[in-house]
Structure 1
Amino acid sequence: MSLLTRRRLLRRAALSATAAGAARTGLAGATAAGIAASATALGGCDSPPERDTDAERDGTLRFPPGFGWGAATSAYQIEGAAKEDGRGESVWDTFSRTPGRTRNGDTGDVAADHYHRYAQDLDLMRDLGLRSYRFSISWPRIQADGSGRPNQRGLDFYRRLVDGLHERGIAPMATLFHWDLPQALQDDGGWENRDTAERFADYADAVFRALGEQVPVWLTINEPKTVVQNGYLTGHHAPGHTDEAAAYLVAHHLQLAHGLAVQALRASGVPGRIGPALNLHPCYPADDSAEAAAATTLYDGYENRLYLDSIFKGAYPQDVLADLGADSRMAKGVRDGDLKIISSPVDLLAVQYYTPIYVTGGGGTVRRWPTSEADWQQIYPQGMYDILTRVTRDYGRVPITITENGLPCPDAPGPDGTVDDPNRVTFLRDHFTVAHKAISDGVPLESYHVWSLLDNFEWNEGYEQRWGLIYVDYPSQRRVLKRSAHWYREVIRRNGL
């Protein structure tokens, strides 16, 4: 399979530009009937099912004591204040301000104005009862051009945020890179340039030394696969390239940056746990043919094992390397010792689950389940169970945190000002149920962060999709807790369903 063919497959996977799948069949790992029924009803987020599982009515699904119920955000999606207090330009500033790149020409210049309203948002987190908050640090807010002395005003903002979390009894979980690469580094080649991984390690070290005593958990690179696929194959994320030859060299440098950041934390002497944040997509054959099974194995290599194997086994999967070819830029870019750096021991794995992938014998993809408003997202809770148990089986009992899982819905205030999103409640309940089953079956899952705390800038979709537990009225920046937020508060209070 050529890299060009692979690029086309990834384009289809990323955009879900495939025909609807045939009627559901008895696929391996099929979901329980109740969860399948709810997934069907959730298609398009427009037919809210009203039902309680027997387990929920009985109050039997209790999570382990101290389970870290949380929510997640990222800097560019919520902070705004794009030109304040020494923040530099990021690739997403450039991308979103380029005509035709985002829906309605939306940018993150203001977003949810969290930079100015963080204290209010912290109070909302406290009122929800959150035990953990996963956020990201804006690299260009710390180093305007991606290198040099850190910007104290940027560090001070995150210090105030972290201190505010502690004051409210919420554990901070900080992501070092959530896609907002300083534009100055992009101008020098971005992630195609090996030096960017070194600059990232320097940035990480500065942040560790400034904030490390107060941050118990660090995540290195958010979803390197999305940067590769959406930023360098399909081009609908920053930096907006469609360069198949560069894409997997970028993957290697992102993995190298991860490993260098792990080493930087260890060298700093700062206490804290650290690990990667990977979006993992369980891959299933679309039919029972040997061709579909073989194509699924390779697809899984690109989707999952390329990132998991390098971190946990110190090697890239051989089938992927063979498919890329010995003359690929990635193969030529791997130096002696790189895999040892990438596989520096981590303390935990952050898993982000949104959708399964069904692969045909020809290497294409088909849809098997209803999609949400995000047409790439098939609603299949069992996929979360399958990926969590698979990771534990294949890579050992590394502690796992779910750092993203959620659903976009067409949320709007009703006549009384409340926001009713029953489909999000059903979606989360079903995913919490399979997460509980995974724990019962031996997965060392220690926390769960709903995506997202707030409605926000959803990358190339702008403000069209609302993923938040909290509704944001963008003109006024007024916050309203949705029905799902009130429901989630009760889940946290009960530590279960």
Structure 2
Amino acid sequence: MAEEEELEAERNSDRRHLSRSDFPPNFVFGVATSAYQIEGASGEGGRGASIWDDFSRVEGRIVDGSNGDVAVDHYHRYEEDIDLIAKLGFDAYRFSISWSRIYPDGLGTQINMEGITYYNKLIDALVKKGIQPYATLYHWDLPLHLHNSMGGWLSKQIINWFATYAETCFANFGDRVKNWITINEPLQTAVNGYGIGIFAPGRCEHSNTEPYLVAHHQLLAHAAAVSVYRKKYRDHQGGQIGLVVDCEWAEAYSQKTEDKEAAARRLDFQLGWYLDPIYYGDYPKVMREKLGDRLPEFSEEDIELLRNSVDFVGLNHYTTRFIAHASESPEESDFYKAQQMKRIEKGEGGETIGEKAASEWLYVVPWGIRKVLNYIVQRYNNPPIYVTENGIAKGWELLLLI
């Protein structure tokens, strides 16, 4: 009952205007972007092609046929954009580095100095304005050559190539970048990129195996990059490094045990898939039970590499859903079917879980983020957490804050 009263008080407080005075003085407000979505200049500055360059040109993949060739032209207009960030009063800017701007073919054999120069200028401009740079090494835009030549995230070779790329970034930018993120939302790459096929590289032919192999290699690539940073750069650069996971809160549809268990499974398949190996050395037990040998095994060396390989957990959270048990899941994707659950738009009393936002998948549920944060605190022994993305779609706008 106490929790329900607390949530109701929070709902009421959300209706009044918030200001900075409602937050601690050291609270960091920021904005977040990704390279392919904003940079443009796809053929300039020595940049190589990424899987999103290729994917966006396949007819029918993008509803309006658009691509990131120009985007908002951040590559040329970054100084104007940083001025806007400063004028809005934000403290931090979370951006991603394009792997193919650093190594056009993805391989750590020939560094592109034009790319190094560009990101140096970007970081310098942020520092000059007093804005903290938060750098994401991978936000879905894999160099196309790595995909075409070795299968991208399907190949174990990518672990070493990612670590090499990461080290180049640490060496060139780590004197000013003190907050590093290895991979953004690896679940989305694994499931939507290699399971459902709605994200680059658009694979869905082997959806019952490939997403789990991709996730496995992403975890090990993350851990390899963290190992390099901690061994060679952290002590003298004084930074920290983490992983960003995404999670919708799973609210049990009813008080029935089967619905509560379905909601718990949903969280294991979202958060546990990536955080359990880091904190506990293996995938969640329920994933092992449901997926069997489709879920790769970790060697003892892998387990040691992964152990506590985050200085912080980055959380991207947008909405909350009612989750109910389903023996025969209505979901098409193997990843969702294995969870034996269904996502329900309305509760037992016919109420929606929150106000419907402009995006069809998004409900406004302020109390959901508190539940996710408390869940991470309790399950993973209170790690430092940064909310690296959250927001609400109103009209055509989606506000992203870190």
* Fold-level similarity (TM above 0.5): yes
1:142-196 C-alpha deviation (Å, 9 max, x unpaired):
1111112221100111100100011001111100000000011111111111111
Q: CA 1:142 to 1:60, structure 2 compared with 1: closer, same or farther past 3 Å?
A: closer
> Secondary structure at 1:339's aligned position in 2?
helix
Aligned equivalents of 1:374 and 1:335: distance in 2? Answer: 42
Aligned equivalents of 1:156 and 1:321: distance in 2? Answer: 45
Q: CA 1:288 to 1:184, structure 2 compared with 1: closer, same or farther past 3 Å?
A: same
Q: Retained in 2: the 8 A contact 1:31–1:382?
A: no
Match of 1:444 in 2: none
Q: CA 1:180 to 1:38, structure 2 compared with 1: closer, same or farther past 3 Å?
A: farther
Match of 2:26 in 1: 66
Taking the TM superposition and a 5 Å limit, the aligned residue runs for 1:316-355 are: 316-325=283-292, 327-328=293-294, 330-332=295-297, 334-355=298-319
1:228 to 185, 190, 198: 190
Q: Unmatched 5+ residue regions in structure 1?
A: 1-25, 40-50, 412-420, 429-448, 452-497
Match of 1:263 in 2: 227
Q: Retained in 2: the 8 A contact 1:29–1:382?
A: no
1:450-481 C-alpha deviation (Å, 9 max, x unpaired):
17xxxxxxxxxxxxxxxxxxxxxxxxxxxxxx
| Letter in structure 2 aligned against 1:123 | D
Q: CA 1:76 to 1:253, structure 2 compared with 1: closer, same or farther past 3 Å?
A: same
How far the C-alpha of 1:36 sits from its partner, in A, is 5.3
Aligned equivalents of 1:224 and 1:155: distance in 2? Answer: 25
| 1:158 correspondence with 2:109 | no
Aligned equivalents of 2:385 and 2:270: distance in 1? Answer: 18
Q: Retained in 2: the 8 A contact 1:289–1:361?
A: no
How far the C-alpha of 1:375 sits from its partner, in A, is 1.6
Q: CA 1:268 to 1:346, structure 2 compared with 1: closer, same or farther past 3 Å?
A: same
Aligned residues: 373
| 1:144 correspondence with 2:104 | yes
How far the C-alpha of 1:344 sits from its partner, in A, is 4.1
Aligned equivalents of 1:255 and 1:311: distance in 2? Answer: 8
Taking the TM superposition and a 5 Å limit, the aligned residue runs for 1:68-467 are: 68-147=28-107, 148-187=109-148, 188-242=150-204, 243-270=207-234, 271=237, 272-325=239-292, 327-328=293-294, 330-332=295-297, 334-362=298-326, 363-367=341-345, 368-411=353-396, 450=401
Aligned equivalents of 2:48 and 2:4: distance in 1? Answer: 47
Larger relative contact order, structure 1 or 2 (CA cutoff 8 Å, min sep 6): 1
| Letter in structure 1 aligned against 2:34 | S
Q: Retained in 2: the 8 A contact 1:281–1:304?
A: no
Aligned equivalents of 2:394 and 2:251: distance in 1? Answer: 27
Aligned equivalents of 1:107 and 1:60: distance in 2? Answer: 37
Aligned equivalents of 1:354 and 1:209: distance in 2? Answer: 34
Of 359-368 and 338-347, the range deviating more from structure 2 = 338-347
1:41-65 C-alpha deviation (Å, 9 max, x unpaired):
xxxxxxxxxx526xx5xx7953222
